[in-house]
Amino acid sequence: MGSLFRERRKISDTSLELPAFGMGTAHLGELYGTVEEDVSQATFDAAWNAGVRYYDTAPWYGRGLAEHRLGGYLRTKPRGGFFVTTKVGRTLHRPRVPKTFDRGPWTGGLNFEVRFDYSYDGIMRSYEQALQRLALDTVDALVIHDLDSIFHDDETIERHSRNLSETGMKALGELKSSGDIQAIGMGINMKEQLADLAQKVDLDFALVAMPYTLIDQDSLHAGMKACLDRGVSVIVGAPFASGILATGSAGAAHYNYGAADQSIIEKVQKIEDVCAAHGVSLQAAALQFPMAHPAAASIIPGAAKPEELLANVAFIDDEIPSQFWAELKSKKLIVSDAPVPQGSDK
């Protein structure tokens, strides 16, 4: 097993050091398809046996299902032997009419209605609910989740942001100062948010989904630079850009949690051509690229089956020649001054 897999990186100036490679659990919340219980168990088994010790989850993933599955698995493991991050900002409740309740966008998941709440009481309730689903009495860090225009209109964002700054951050600060958690993060779906809201809140790390991937580095000189300047660590949450960098252009072509448009498909095809010329796996390039950024602390690709998890473990330390990264830059497929992994000279 290579060095990146075994490495731990410090989160900002906190006491938390996370493994550089972890596992996201959105797929086990049944994002793109249902996952049978035995497959979920086998996927966690594969992760644990491979040495994965950092797991990220959220109440939103499968409306509680991912947390239940993760907690059920980790319940039998020594608490000092793994790291867990989960998210706050949503609480889960019994639907008024369960029989007709729509669980979308999850293909399976659980029958719970979501309420957004970034206030002191909302953060605390979200945290307590998560502990119960996880069957744990501690998590290592909490992440403010989905405070962006994908889920809210401008007026609602302003209201939630005010609640967060006036009282919600107080809750997170209390949990951190008491030792309940070691770090405070924010989940970032959009580059505008990374450059704006995430820089206005006192954070230890940003969990970045789409704003910095092998496809898109628009955030390099804005949000990512701001994180670096402020000493805010970055956890890379969607290195496969929600799908297309895992399946390739000929696969399902999910991008930004929807269908990829033609321009994205064509860009991936050009990256694939460079991969073919250098004998490089697209998936390995996608996993390794964002981790070269000096703010990056950990990467948490998801998996819905054991084979996917084991492939990710292998890809993270695949050898990639330096000429590959140079050609991507020369063809303007990645930004010219983007940090890239130290490649071999084969």
| Dihedral, CA of residue 74, residue 80, residue 85 and residue 90, to nearest 10 | 70
d(CA 10, CA 94): 39
Q: Are 219 and 212 in contact (CB under 8 A)?
A: yes
Predicted confidence pLDDT, tens digits, the chain (346 residues): 457 778 999 999 999 999 999 999 999 999 889 999 999 999 999 999 999 999 999 999 999 999 999 999 999 999 999 999 999 999 999 999 999 999 999 999 999 999 999 999 999 999 999 999 999 999 999 999 999 999 999 999 999 999 999 999 999 999 999 999 999 999 998 888 888 866 778 999 999 988 999 999 999 999 999 999 999 999 999 999 989 999 999 878 889 888 899 999 999 999 999 999 999 999 999 999 999 999 999 999 999 999 999 999 999 999 999 999 999 999 999 999 999 998 655 5
Residue 119 to residue 147: CA distance in whole angstroms: 12
Q: CB of 11 within 8 A of CB of 183?
A: yes
Going by the DSSP 8-state scheme, the letter that residue 1 receives in this structure is: -
What is residue 159's three-state secondary structure?
helix
Predicted TM-score (pTM) of this structure:
0.95
> What's the pLDDT score for residue 1?
42
Both tokens of 261, joined, read: 């448009």
Q: Are 142 and 175 in contact (CB under 8 A)?
A: yes
Taking a C-beta distance cutoff of 8 angstroms, is the pair 40, 253 a contact? no
Helix (H) or strand (E) holding 346: none
Classify residue 166 by its DSSP letter: I
For the chain, helix, strand, coil in percent to 5 are 45, 15, 40
pLDDT score recorded for residue 115: 98
Instruction: Quote the CA–CA distance of 69 and 126 in Å, as a whole number.
Output: 17
Which are the catalytic amino acids?
A: 56, 61, 87
Which residues lie across from 54 on neighbouring strands?
83
Q: What is the DSSP code string of 61-75?
A: GGGGHHHHHHHHHHT
Helix (H, G, I), strand (E, B) or coil at 241: helix
CB-neighbour burial class of residue 114 (10 A; exposed 0-12, middle 13-18, buried 19+): middle
> How far apart (Å, rounded) are the C-alpha atoms in residues 334 and 84?
32
